[in-house]
A and B are shown apart, each in its own frame.
Chain A
Amino acid sequence: MNTKRKVLMLSIAAVLIIAGASQAFAAGRSEPVAAGPVTMNYHLPGDPTIIDPSANWIGEVAANLFTPLVGYDANANEIYPRGATSWSVSDDGIVWTFDIRRNWLWSDGTPLTAADYVYGFQAVVDPETASPTAFRLSIIENAAAVTNGNVPVDQLGVTALDDYTLQITLEAPASWFLVSMSSIGYALPRWVREEHGTAWTTPQNIVVNGPYTLASARPNDLYVLEKNPNYYGAGNVQIERINLYIVAQQSTAMAMYENGELDTVVVPIEDLDRVQRDPVLSSEFTSFPRLISQFYWFNVGRAPFDNVLVRRAFAAAVDKQTLVSRVTRGGEVATDTIAPPGVVGYVDPSAGVGIPYDPAQARAWLAEAGYPGGQGFPAVTIGFNFNEFNASVAQALQSMWQTNLGVEVTLSGVEGGAYGSLTSGGEFNMYRWGWGMAYPDANYIHEGIFHSKVMSETERTHRWHSDEFDRLIDEAAGANDQGLREELYLQAERLLVQEGMGIIPLFFPADNRVTKPYLNRIQGPLMTPEFWGWTITQ
């Protein structure tokens, strides 16, 4: 080949590379900044994956596309009408009747009826959906049997008496049922879901009844929501367009916020000090406890933690205040009890429930258990799903137990994908766990993880459980009086974190956030932001 040909070929190659590159750019081109609609730029740390509200936990996208029967206003602590305009319950607390909103259209113009809610409830428990949230409806008549495939889905205790009356029959009275309807039980468009299968939530196919529609979706990159003119409350929705940018790296999202590319973000722990010192950023900073509990399970199935004195000793040796103020430092709230503040059943520290930090008492309990000064104490391993945060907490606990009790503790940080099966199998002597609230009633955490009926057979061999605890939680479910319910939850907590000592509660994480001054964001304690109530002033 002579030189000219080589030069020619090189040039062709270069042109091809550039052409390829520019085409790839064109394919992934960012939406131009529109001057027209009121737009918010919001950050998502991961892809929403499954948007169908019957097939997944509710995230930012689904919560703003679909409408459940009721809403929950955390600031006023009030349940308010959404898909249902009013409701009533039979005297025995079993049959709930909801009046479905009239003159309300799906985004494709189809009128919305009670049958759409029936279908939405059925979809959650339908074994074909394989929803991780199906257990949340197990209080409804036949729900568990439907999910297990024992009875057909139309036997679920949810029926449409007419176009605008929905009736839900429960298996047992449940005081928490109504508020739990604020984050599950969304109406679904049967005709679209049946026609397109799992592809029904793509922007081309999707039909919604919520405040927003899905205008475009590029997985792992950008989802765009646009105001839905058919939404019953569209007149009050001020932000017309929401760009949901998916940015996995928190520090990158923070930089985008500082560069004006995002309107609100969670502040990474390593930036907290800087943000709080900065005159501008500190004025944009808010910290709010989240409805999440972080704790450690004891493996009560084998020595040494089969002895309640040892468990109490370990609990009393943990200085949670130091843990949150010196180690995690993210505004976490230390706790000796498990239900987060802001839910029915939160136990105020003044009630004296739980085991506070008391190293002398801890050593006394350990000695009483037969290990004075930690002598003869066997080697124990504590497990956690590995990330930097969990590791730093585990290391702090390890050093507290070594200092205060004189015992050796080994740490075992496990990759997240393998963690679940190892802990269910009872692999570790202690292991880390967290639980977020889907509705603001302690029932969700007590019945959700500590009630023996939700534990597998293996889990029952190593997780603490008690008939008395189960009875208290069942009784609270039937107690419509909030005062009585709180009293029952308090007794249950006393068993769980003091007398029985099944777990060591650690802290409630905080939502540390910066928000641009022009964005009026309503702080809700639950996981899902409700964009339709937010406003932008410019």
Chain B
Amino acid sequence: MLSFIVRRILWLIPVILIISMITFALMLSVPGNPFEGTGERPLPPETVARLRAHYGLDDSIPVQYLRYMQNLLRGDLGPSYASRRSVNEMVASGLPISATLGMLGLVVALSIGIPLGVASALNQNRAIDYFAMFFAMAGVSVPAMTSAPLFIWIFSINLGWLPVARWGTWQQAVMPAIILGIGPAAVLARLTRASMLQVIREDYIRTARAKGVPERRITVRHALKNALIPVITVLGPLFASMVTGAVVVERIFAIPGMGGYFVGGVSSRDYPVIMGMVLVYTFFLVLSNLAVDLAYAWVDPRIRLE
């Protein structure tokens, strides 16, 4: 088990190397440059030349890349060209917020999605099933761009229960966590239902029933546990996508997470910010997948991680 973890963590190195190379090359080949505003008067050429020299942008791409990786090894993500703050500082302030929001979203997704999927499977082709699957369909189809303003209108402006936006109190986290979690909840509900339907037809479930095991125990201990394996598979990417994909939710609810930095970095060609955000997201994705693999072994003792 330990050697498995170590091996997987070592795998991070080539993954980060390849992703960083691709990102670096793509980023520098996109037209536009960081020292030029839109619709504003451009900086004088002498100033741009000085800035480019200062940040080493006149060197060839491989040289720039090597220098970046060297700094990265020292844990230095570089300065933002736009704000002159360090990218480390941006990650340090944004990541805990994005991660917390992602985690809360995941809690919402799990606590709605799995019970809904189970209820649906146990009542296949009955009203509960149709209702749950309608919800799942709606959850996948309605984007945050639509649901978030609707929630704000209902719960903040009309009912006055929750603050409109921003981050800092639990009340402020309620709407963004639900909006973020509701799409994945729908995915989990459908997945749990399908997997559950398969499992409850297995021989060992029939055996358990024949032995007189109470229905509730069969559902939770025997069926659900096995039905969860495919669900766990998607949890890793799902969580990573909730941390990284909360850009829209963060924007609508004015949450100072990583999303704003990422979008701002791309539109102003703030290379160190783009690189920093991509690497942090990569790291997150790889770690989430590792966590999923570890969770397999826990749920299904037959799976051995060697």
Chain A residues at the B interface, C-beta cutoff of 8 Å? 1, 6, 17, 20-21, 23-25, 27-30, 46-47, 49-50, 57, 127, 130-132, 134-135, 147-149, 198, 218-222, 245-249, 251-253, 255-256, 258-259, 261, 385, 415-422, 424, 433-435, 448-449, 454, 456
If A21-B104, A148-B44 touch, does A28 touch B90 (CB 8 Å cutoff)? Answer: no
Residues in A neighbouring B94, C-beta threshold 8 A: 220
> What are 22 pairs between A and B in contact, CB < 8 Å?
A24-B96, A24-B100, A27-B96, A28-B168, A29-B168, A30-B169, A131-B47, A149-B50, A218-B93, A222-B166, A246-B256, A247-B166, A248-B254, A252-B254, A253-B254, A255-B164, A256-B165, A259-B163, A417-B30, A417-B32, A417-B267, A420-B42
**B166→A255 contact, CB < 8 A:** no
Interface-forming stretch among B120-128, B148-156, B206-214?
B148-156
**B31→A421 contact, CB < 8 A:** yes
**A416→B41 contact, CB < 8 A:** no
Question: Closest approach, in angstroms, between the C-beta of A153 and any C-beta of chain B?
Answer: 14
Q: Nearest chain-A residue to B103 (Cβ)?
A: A17
Residues in B neighbouring A454, C-beta threshold 8 A: 41
Which of chain B's residues 2-61 have a Cβ closer than 8 Å to chain A? Answer: 30-33, 36-47, 50-51, 54
CA of A50 to CA of B152, assembled, Å:
32
Question: Closest approach, in angstroms, between the C-beta of B245 and any C-beta of chain A?
Answer: 17
CA of A421 to CA of B39, assembled, Å:
11
Which of chain B's residues 155-177 have a Cβ closer than 8 Å to chain A? Answer: 156-157, 160, 163-170, 172-173
**A252→B93 contact, CB < 8 A:** no
**B163→A221 contact, CB < 8 A:** no
**A449→B166 contact, CB < 8 A:** no
CA of A221 to CA of B259, assembled, Å:
13
Point out the residue from A246, A385, A419, A422 that lies within 8 Å of B254, measured CB to CB.
A246
**B44→A417 contact, CB < 8 A:** no
B83 within 8 A of partner (CB): yes
B253 within 8 A of partner (CB): yes
**B44→A147 contact, CB < 8 A:** yes
Residues in B neighbouring A28, C-beta threshold 8 A: 97, 167-168, 256
Residues in A neighbouring B44, C-beta threshold 8 A: 134-135, 147-148
Q: Nearest chain-B residue to A424 (Cβ)?
A: B42
CA of A49 to CA of B260, assembled, Å:
13
Question: Closest approach, in angstroms, between the C-beta of A98 and any C-beta of chain B?
Answer: 27
**B84→A418 contact, CB < 8 A:** no
B252 within 8 A of partner (CB): yes
**A417→B96 contact, CB < 8 A:** no
Residues in B neighbouring A132, C-beta threshold 8 A: 37, 40-41, 43
CA of A189 to CA of B21, assembled, Å:
43
**A147→B167 contact, CB < 8 A:** no
Q: Nearest chain-B residue to A247 (Cβ)?
A: B254
CA of A23 to CA of B107, assembled, Å:
17
CA of A246 to CA of B256, assembled, Å:
9
CA of A147 to CA of B50, assembled, Å:
10
Point out the residue from B31, B173, B256 that lies within 8 Å of A25, measured CB to CB.
B173
**B107→A17 contact, CB < 8 A:** yes
Q: Nearest chain-A residue to B80 (Cβ)?
A: A49
**B152→A420 contact, CB < 8 A:** no
CA of A249 to CA of B254, assembled, Å:
7
If A132-B41, A134-B44, A421-B33 touch, does A252 touch B165 (CB 8 Å cutoff)? Answer: yes
Contact-residue bracket for chain B = 35 or more
Question: Closest approach, in angstroms, between the C-beta of A219 and any C-beta of chain B?
Answer: 7
Question: Closest approach, in angstroms, between the C-beta of B76 and any C-beta of chain A?
Answer: 16
Point out the residue from A221, A252, A258, A419 that lies within 8 Å of B38, measured CB to CB.
A419
Further 17 A-B residue pairs, CB within 8 A, beyond A29-B168, A418-B31: A1-B298, A6-B298, A17-B107, A25-B100, A47-B260, A50-B84, A57-B40, A130-B43, A219-B83, A247-B165, A252-B152, A415-B267, A417-B38, A420-B36, A421-B32, A421-B33, A448-B41
B66 within 8 A of partner (CB): no
Residues in A neighbouring B167, C-beta threshold 8 A: 25, 28, 221
B190 within 8 A of partner (CB): no
Point out the residue from A25, A245, A415 that lies within 8 Å of B169, measured CB to CB.
A25
Listed from nearest, the 9 A-B pairs whose CB atoms lie closest are A221-B256, A30-B168, A417-B32, A418-B32, A24-B100, A49-B83, A418-B31, A247-B254, A220-B256
Residues in B neighbouring A57, C-beta threshold 8 A: 40
Question: Closest approach, in angstroms, between the C-beta of B181 and any C-beta of chain A?
Answer: 14
**A385→B260 contact, CB < 8 A:** no
Question: Closest approach, in angstroms, between the C-beta of A240 and any C-beta of chain B?
Answer: 22
Residues in B neighbouring A21, C-beta threshold 8 A: 100, 103-104, 173
Q: Nearest chain-B residue to A220 (Cβ)?
A: B256
**B152→A385 contact, CB < 8 A:** no
Residues in B neighbouring A6, C-beta threshold 8 A: 298
If A130-B47, A221-B256, A248-B260 touch, does A24 touch B97 (CB 8 Å cutoff)? Answer: yes
Which of chain B's residues 193-244 have a Cβ closer than 8 Å to chain A? Answer: none
Q: Nearest chain-B residue to A128 (Cβ)?
A: B50
B261 within 8 A of partner (CB): yes
**A261→B168 contact, CB < 8 A:** no
Residues in A neighbouring B46, C-beta threshold 8 A: 127, 147-149
**B33→A245 contact, CB < 8 A:** no
CA of A454 to CA of B43, assembled, Å:
11
Q: Nearest chain-A residue to B51 (Cβ)?
A: A130
Question: Closest approach, in angstroms, between the C-beta of A378 and any C-beta of chain B?
Answer: 25
Most B-side CB within 10 Å, residue of A147, A420, A434:
A420
Q: Nearest chain-A residue to B48 (Cβ)?
A: A130
